[in-house]
Structure 1
Amino acid sequence: MNFNHMMPLKLLVVFFIILNPCGCSSSSSANFPIAKPSCLDHCGNVSIPFPFGIGENCYYRDQNSNFAVECNTSKLKFQDSPFEITEISLEGQFRTMNYVGYNCYAHNRSIKSNSPWTSLGMPFIFNSTSNKFTVIGCDSIAIVQGASNLREYTTGCVSLCNFKEDVEDGSCSGIGCCQTSIPSGAWQINVSLSSVFNHSSVLSFNPCSYAFVVEEDAFHFYADNLTNLESVETLPVLVDWVISYKNCNEAITNKSSYACGLNSECYVEEGALGYRCRCNEGYEGNPYLGCQDIDECRNPDRCGKYSACTNTVGSYKCNCIKGYHEDGDGRCVANNKKDNWPVFIGVGLSGGTLCVLILSFCFFSKRQRQKEKKLREELFRKNGGKFLQEKLDAAKRGGTNNIRIYKEEELEKATNDFDESQIIGRGGFGTVYRGELTDHKVVAIKKSKGVDEDQVEQFINEVMLLSQINSRYVVKLLGCCLETEVPLLVYEYIDNGTLFDHLHKKFKSSLSWDIRLQIASEIAGVLSYLHSVASPPIIHRDIKSSNVLLDQDYIAKVSDFGISRLISSDDDQVATMVQGTLGYLDPEYMLTGLLTEKSDVYSFGIVLMEIITGKKVLSSGKPEAEKFLSNVFLASLEENHLAEILDNNISSPENIDQLHEVAMIAKRCISVRGEERPCMKDVERDLLILRAKAKVISLQVFEKDSTKSETLLDMHSIGYGSSDYFTSSGQYSAPYTTTEQPLLTLPSGR
């Protein structure tokens, strides 16, 4: 990238090789070689530390990793890659350049555009902390899609404005510029751009939209970027790398491919998908070539006054000089020639007695610890701990296990010994307590009712399901405890009640139509993820309004996976014992016992009816025809009386069409025959389209009627996975299907 060319554009690109704000460095010491003998260690001004290398036998390679690079006209690149590498760090990062996407308009139509697609491949991923997805434009919708770990992802931003004067330098909150994070573990990036009004209202000062992933510290937004980015082809991004997709135990066992050299050790950083190497304490150099001893005694003040430093392999020693001896505090003091033998005898006797007491205490303490350990191991086995640990270890090797194992004492203290006053809910398989950990973090602790085989299976099932689900709209599992009489699960604490509470007036709040539509799309997004993205697919089996928690921002959090089922990808149906909640249960499943994803679709359709009517699913004491909400709902549609059963808090002439569309979605979801019901991916798409249209209509009405000069964007949060569809800052995210795009590839087969 030509930095001199970009300066007139007011792009602040930091020269990292000089300032190095992220600690990115090519070598730990200039005194040690960074490359193999007879191999190039520089390309232009860029250092090339092994495992990277140019030429045969100069780089590291195994069945999943390939660190071969090439130097072309003083530019360092991966083989067969168009992207320049500007810096490499032995701490597990490198910087490279990534394409800018654009979409330009003239006379209310698109005249040129591109949708760049970058694929890193193993073992390289985009750094999710330092990089940001950035969209620039006053009529711009941008989507970034790709692959992250073992799943697909989609996120994005919306950037709008009416006048260039409204755009503020350095602000990317949605007015002229929008930024959002990319998910962790992303190794593929596909950028695409579109427009709401084809730039017709802003063409004079903003004919183009731009979108790109860029290292946040390397780009500073200015209002002039609305017109002067067309000549910028690439921008820098920060990439994380590991030497191999293995954990340390696997790597060390396979000695033929183990990458750590002499005097170095294997380590795995939190959140990383593989291992790296680092020098042992007391050594420095390139850990992949072998580390060398540090002479600590080069520092003349290493040992202090009256001490002499002696270097040892991997460490050093400090010895008092002649005429001095070490006192009890490790200091060197002058020798005292006075005869102190009575003191020595007294100290010896006292020390001997103390040693006997200490040994006796240690013996009895050891026996007590052994008894406690044996009891904990028995409870661990009784609660299915061995089987669960095997599953968690397997998940950890796959990079999907972030669960913490809590101690019994810690959870007892958090709940005041599971006091009745701490109970916040009871379910079919246990009781939920509010707890406050020692770090003042508030959590929800689920305590199962018993420990028979069925409930142990439910416990293990819920742990494994929640450890594999990565969505902000699913209640996060923080960990579990296996040392107790009954198994315990620790969840994030959601303190704004359930959807059932808000719909049926247990809480005083009345949810607006915008929030209800948001919640519906979030629940649909979770089910679409479980059915279409999770591998193997997951059937929740108990979708209902009381299993949807709401946080303070009314974001939906789906909970209670205790009876969920994992199903094989080649099985359409699973025969099970019928479980669930009356009123939400799929009638086809009740009759046949055959469980499919369409059973969740039926339950979701009932929740949709609940959302738009505000009525309970089951009303005891009423005639049979009016007992179930589904019967009343379908009858009102057939008789064209839908408006009579809609919730008065949300029904109005402005949104009656939207309510009718949602009602028709609910009707399709509760078709008697499962094969006639839509899949959740289609339901989610329909709800997102409905929301997007509603937002555009709201913007047009606001722009027409408003008498003040205010920002056009005032949107509730919509979400899926780890991002937002629309947020108050203008962000946008949705799980669209990936379309074919030109493929630009960094080194493949890694």
Structure 2
Amino acid sequence: MEITVLVVMFFTVLFLAQPRSSTCCNLHCGTNITVQYPFGFSEGCGIRLDCNDNKTMSLGKIIVKSVTSDNILLHFPANCSRKINESNQLIGPNYAPTKRNNFLIRRCNKPLVNKCLIQANSSLINDHLSASCNDDGVSCYRGEGRSVVNELNMSDCSVLYTSILINSNNNKSADSVVLALEFEVVELEWGIPGNCNCSTDAKCVRVRLEGVNKGFRCQCTEGFEGDGFRGGCRRVAAAGACLIAALALICYYVRRRSTSRKYKMSENRLLGEARNSTVPLFSYKDIERATNAFSEKQKLGTGAYGTVYAGKLHNDEWVAIKKLRHQDTDGIEQIMNEIKLLSSVSHQNLVRLLGCCIENGEQILVYEFMPNGTLAQHLQRERGHVLPWTVRLTIATETALAIAHLHTATHPPIYHRDIKSSNILLDVNFNSKVADFGLSRLGMTDNSHVSTAPQGTPGYVDPQYHQNFHLSDKSDVYSFGVVLVEIVTALKVVDFSRPATEINLAALAIDRIGRGRVDEIIDPLLEPNRDAWTLSSIHKVAELAFRCLAFHRDMRPSMVEVSQELEQIRLGAWAPLDENIGMASSIASSCSSPFDGSEKSQGGATVKKLGVGSRRVVVPHRPIDCLTPMKEVSDSSPISMRDPWSSEQSSPSTNSLLRNIVH
């Protein structure tokens, strides 16, 4: 009963707070859009807007995003066929563009003088504007008022592509410039022609409008609200503010209770699915004991959905334990997704899910332990020695085989959606293991894609997926193409210290590989020129990455084709047989490699059975020095701790454990 009374009072306050303007100006568009005078949707309004099917408001043909006390924001999407004279819609007796607008123009016979704060062809612009035009020429022009529209119309350009709103904050003390960008937006300044004519308790702001000597805007002073024109200004009622605060508090508790109920239902559903699956269930006490009550000393890292710890369970073997954030419904969906997908697939290059725990309001996943961390750590020199090219190539091949397995061995197929070097884990023998299936999705059996909101890691996301929300197996191919570029270059995927056109590694690689300048971006520590096969194979992998990064998904190879091609490259080394056996003997002093019945072990190296006189050998799978010892680095990877003692030895002390946990 009390809540009902509060609700009635709340709507009474809202009714009394409605703008009181002349009945000659309609301030409403449908039931969801209301503006303040001088804006409105009829003849009696100072600045007339159009109401489109009671759903959106527009200024002529251009959609209005919002109107404020000093500007109008218009939605100005990228359009490859918008004629230059359509800029005339941006000028009126009451409004004109501000100087923060930066107009992108195409099909110019001669480029305009570039007054923009950004480069029109920078990767930052290309990554955000999804439209694809036939011509590459883009100019940028910046101005304000009627003059910018006149100059655009007088230019030799024929297409007004789009606009970018830039707010520049020059922090002189820090000697830096901060840019805030809004894409596909035009900002108009507005005002009413004539002398100031504001209501009581409102201040007059003078503006200079194009073609009008004087103009003004009205703004209510502090402590008052309203339009400041015909509707006047009203003092903000303290009682009304308290009422709104009380209702906000009620809404908070109602929402909290609803969220808690939804969380509990999701948890019960998760527990039911876990019991019905083949994934073992661990007790919370076992998990707590394994992690020393989730000790900070055993923490491996923190990710988007939780924290990962190292621990030992019943068999005294190290495992990685991911504890999801408490009361996180998104985390529950993620853990359900991982349990469902990882329990349905099995592959030597996919990380194994060893069990889970759903007790005490906690959701916990237990994975196999990866002592050599992530591929990203090694490529960025954060741990270990430099990965030799043969090891990188083997990791790439094994990863491709794992992703191809997800795409082809299950029905419907599984799309990983977050392929990146930090999700490629390395075991004690540097075998590749693909991890983190929280964002993975099942593909449709009767369609070629899944429609879902874009998720993933910046720099790895398929541009077509980002543009039209269509997820497919080729989205994983694009992400893997970025990983291949990382393997070749050892560069960061996104690096703002690089030039503007090279911030995005994919854009940089496409440019260099497309122009036949691969050598400029090869990791020099690979020593690419030490022999013909090394240089040739690096170039072949770079060219394969180039095809994976094709903008149109139909131009990309499938993951099966990618894995087969990598395998051919990896097995394509040619060298004198005795030379390779000698190299293998040096490897044998510190490393070993598994082999099956089709291979022979010669001094610790794996050599294919070949015909007499053949000079072809298999590229060794492991680096010469086994990439040890490792040094401590910071990492958020869920499974990245080194275990230097054997299983026969007793467990180390806490201090010893600290020395051997490598983040």
TM-score, normalising length from structure 1? 0.43
- Greater helix proportion: 2
**Greater RCO between the two (CA within 8 Å, min separation 6)?**
1
